Amino acid sequence: MKKISLFTAILAVPSILLMAGTAIAEIRPGSWTLTPTVGGYTFEGNQNLETGPLFGLKAGYEWTEQVGVEGFLMSVPTTLKEPENQGVDLFHGRGEILYYLTPKSRLVPYLAGGLGLTKTIYPPGYKYRYTRRIAVDAGAGLKYGLSPLLALRADLRYLLLFGAHGQLENNIEYTAGLVFTFGGKP
């Protein structure tokens, strides 16, 4: 009986969120968003790092129907390619501007660009202990509205990193998340 009650409760929460409003999901000026995010991060080949999982949190503000701003904090646990199986941690924070192409529809494609800082921590004994870099990013994404307060999201970003021992590095980030929207004009 407890299993049935737990299963019913697990199904009830998303159902209530999906029925929270009857209007089509769209970009709401003046609203705030919070997006837990998961995905992957692929390093340029000469960085000696394996592709790793990405875990992050995005917080945004919808300035107008077509323009939003967003902050993103993420962590990427990874390993060195050689010597093998030595753990490396990448931490990244950035701000972005989002430009929505069809802000009044359920499926909203958008373009994004931003600036951030990356810190990579290497294992003891590696040729350097950590690196700090400035990162510039550009990319695109899609939001699919489930309700006025909830949406699914997928993003792809190209990152250009400066300053790691005089090197210029190119990385790719791909994420998916669940967008929670608060406030704004209905």
Quick check: 130 pLDDT over 90? no
Domain ranges of the chain: 2-183
Contact 44, 56 (CB under 8 A): no
Q: Which of the two residues, 8 and 165, has the higher pLDDT score?
A: 165
Give the span between the Cα atoms of 119 and 22, in whole angstroms: 43
Instruction: Establish how many alpha carbons lie within 13 A of residue 147's alpha carbon, considering only the half-sphere containing its beta carbon.
Output: 15
E-assigned strands of the chain?
Answer: 31-42, 52-62, 67-79, 87-100, 107-121, 130-147, 150-164, 167-183
What is the DSSP code (8-state) at residue 123?
P
The CATH code of domain 2-183 reads: 2.40.160.20
- Supply the pLDDT for residue 36: 98
pLDDT band at 25 (very low <50, low <70, confident <90, very high): low
- The model's pLDDT over 89-112, given as tens digits with 9 standing for 90+, comes to 999 999 999 999 999 999 999 999
Query: Average pLDDT of the chain?
Result: 87
